[in-house]
Amino acid sequence: MKEQLNSIRMQAEQELSNVGTITELENLRVKYLGKKGELTTVLRGMGSLSPEERPVIGQLANEIREALEAKIDKAKEELSKKERLNKLEKEVIDVTMPGKRKMLGKKHPLSIVLDEIKEVFLGMGYEIAEGPEVELDYYNFEALNIPKNHPARDVQDTFYINENILLRTQTSPVQIRVMENKKPPIKIICPGRVYRSDAVDATHSPIFHQVEGLVVDKGVTMGDLVGTLKLFAKSLFGEKTEIRLRPHHFPFTEPSAEVDVSCWNCGGSGCRVCKNEGWIEILGAGMVHPKVLEVCGIDPEVYSGFAFGLGVERTAMGRFNIDDMRLLYENDIRFLRQF
């Protein structure tokens, strides 16, 4: 049995010197020292030995086991060091190699225009307010002086969740939410998504974007409104841009106006873009109706205000000469790359 043990030892050491990877090393450990390993198998036969031989063989076997374990552990350490070094060498980075080109995304034209609009009004001291897109009928219509059955609801038909909850048709409900919670002076813009049950065509979409503006303070006049919109139009469409107000009706402003800017394409002489009008309508505006102030607990005898609402899509189409609104939603990379 002694010889058997010694030959196992020699064989194991011989194999150990040829091991090149940690996996091979592990296999070797199992082969000799594992539960079904060669050393273990030999030791199982110890029962047939005489009582004198047993401790001698037992000691020898233990020595061999310990020696092998130590050698395997050492080999393992060396192998993992070698593998680590190999890996480091393989992963060396050549900093002189040309870089890989990253495809950089761009801002969507709607975002570009929205950011420009925000920039202009933030510069004038406005704050940005937000409101929910799923809105109560009360905020979207009622509080804005558009009672049930008012004809103004016809042109702003929308998607109803139930009788009292709908997808907002305009950003104007944010006016009410802000005035309910804050006393004047108020100076906000509210950008956001709005919904109407319109069919899709070159100038309509059931989902589009507006920016609402609201200023309420003592002594706010129509002159302030005009001055503000003029500055806005020039900032967005160029210094030469003029604005024009046409009388209009909105239930929540009085007086109300539709606001045109001189055509960004021809400057006002008339062209295809402005349908030979020289002017292009971009927003609705007016002085906040006294009833609306009152509903929000603001005394119309003390305070006055103006409000305006503009379409972001329309503005973007003007700013970039885009002739079909659908292009803004199709996400065709060839289109989007141009901005």
* Cβ distance to ligand PHE smaller for residue 109 or 251: 251
Q: Does 131 bind ligand PHE (CB under 6 A)?
A: no
CB nearer to ligand PHE: give 71 or 291: 291
Q: Does 173 interact with ligand PHE (rule: CB under 6 A)?
A: no
Specify the residue, 16 or 194, whose C-beta has the smaller distance to ligand PHE: 194
SS3 per residue for the chain: CHHHHHHHHHHHHHHHHHCCCHHHHHHHHHHHHCCCCHHHHHHHHHHHCCCCHHHHHHHHHHHHHHHHHHHHHHHHHHHHHHHHHHHHHHCCCCCCCCCCCCCCCCCCHHHHHHHHHHHHHHHCCCEECCCCCEEEHHHHCHHHCCCCCCHHHHHHCCCECCCCEEECCCCCHHHHHHHHHCCCCEEEEEEEEEECCCCCECCECCEEEEEEEEEEECCCCHHHHHHHHHHHHHHHHCCCCCEEEEEEEECCEEEEEEEEEECCCCCCCCCCCCCCCCEEEEEEEEEECHHHHHHCCCCCCCCEEEEEEEEHHHHHHHHHCCCCCCHHHHCCHHHHCCC
Q: Is 285 in the site for ligand PHE (CB under 6 A)?
A: yes
State yes or no: residue 232 binds ligand PHE (CB under 6 A).
Answer: no
Query: For ligand PHE, which stretch binds (CB under 6 A), given 66-74, 279-287, 291-299, 321-329?
Result: 279-287
Nearer to ligand PHE, 212 or 328 (CB): 212
Based on the shown chain and the rule CB under 6 A, indicate whether residue 179 belongs to the binding site for ligand PHE.
no
CB count in 10 Å sphere of residue 5: 19
Shortest Cβ distance from residue 123 to ligand PHE (Å)?
Answer: 21
* Position among 172, 228, 304, 315 found at the interface with ligand PHE (CB under 6 A): 172
250 contributes a contact to ligand PHE by CB under 6 A: yes
37 versus 318: smaller Cβ distance to ligand PHE: 318
For residue 305, count other CB atoms closer than 10 A to its CB: 28
Contact between 140 and ligand PHE by CB under 6 A: the answer reads no
Q: Which CB, 268 or 309, lies closer to ligand PHE?
A: 309
Q: How far is the CB of 336 from ligand PHE (least distance, A)?
A: 27
User: Applying CB under 6 A, what is the total number of residues that bind ligand PHE?
Assistant: 11
| Residues between 25 and 64 that touch ligand PHE (CB under 6 A) | none
The distance of closest approach from Cβ of residue 291 to ligand PHE in the complex, given in angstroms and rounded to an integer, is: 14
For ligand PHE, which is the closer residue by CB, 16 or 312? Answer: 312
User: Which residues would be at the binding site for ligand PHE (CB under 6 A)?
Assistant: 170, 172, 212, 250, 253, 284-286, 307-309
